[in-house]
Amino acid sequence: MIPTLTTDRLRLRGWQVEDFPAFCALKTNAELQAFVGGALSEIAAWDEFCAKAGQWMIRGFGVFLVADKATDKAVGFAGLWYPQDLDEPELCWSLFPGNEGKGFATEAAVEARRWANLEIGLGPLVSFVHPDNHASCAVAERLGAKRVDDGTAELRGQPRYVYRHPLMTG
């Protein structure tokens, strides 16, 4: 069961088939996917969409769909990504086209981190951000995360900054 979390403006909830068009618009856009391996086909986007929902069943936690609280319109996703090739879950976030610059990524990531730290006992969490993804670097820094070192790591063949988030307590 995927919990529903709320912030002032957002609802972090489970995935619904109606959310796929917004997800697909992000995942099939070469410019928006430049820092995460490139654009996907619509079929590959569907497979990733299903994987986001399915991780909850396998791990007991995962990535939330982020929706506007007033309208339930899908605006992005945030939560815990934990594929088999990572040593620990990553706090991740991404916004669907047209939702950038409104503070949604930071707001959603703060709530996902709070839930991970305080409700399921995970953390401190890590985020892997492409060095050229200045918007996501700024989100990580607004969250209080610190770069682990001045170099870069590699994730799936691409360079990444490693950000470590502070542990939220009581």
Query: Phi and psi dihedrals of 34, rounded to 5?
Result: -60, -30
How large is the average pLDDT for residues 53-73?
96
User: Distance between CA 139 and CA 83 in Å, rounded?
Assistant: 22
The domain of 66 spans: 5-164
User: 29 and 39 in contact (C-beta within 8 Å)?
Assistant: yes
Domain-embedded: residue 170? no
Write the pLDDT tens digit of every residue in 19-52.
999 999 999 988 888 888 889 999 999 999 999 9
In a domain, 33, yes or no: yes
Domain presence at residue 144? yes
Q: What is the mean pLDDT of residues 69-91?
A: 95
| Residue 28 belongs to some domain of the structure | yes
CATH of the domain at 101: 3.40.630.30
In contact, 106 and 142? CB cutoff 8 Å: yes
- For the chain, what is the mean pLDDT? 94
Percent over 70 (pLDDT), the chain:
100
Element (H, E) at 138: helix 134-142
- What is the model's pTM? 0.94
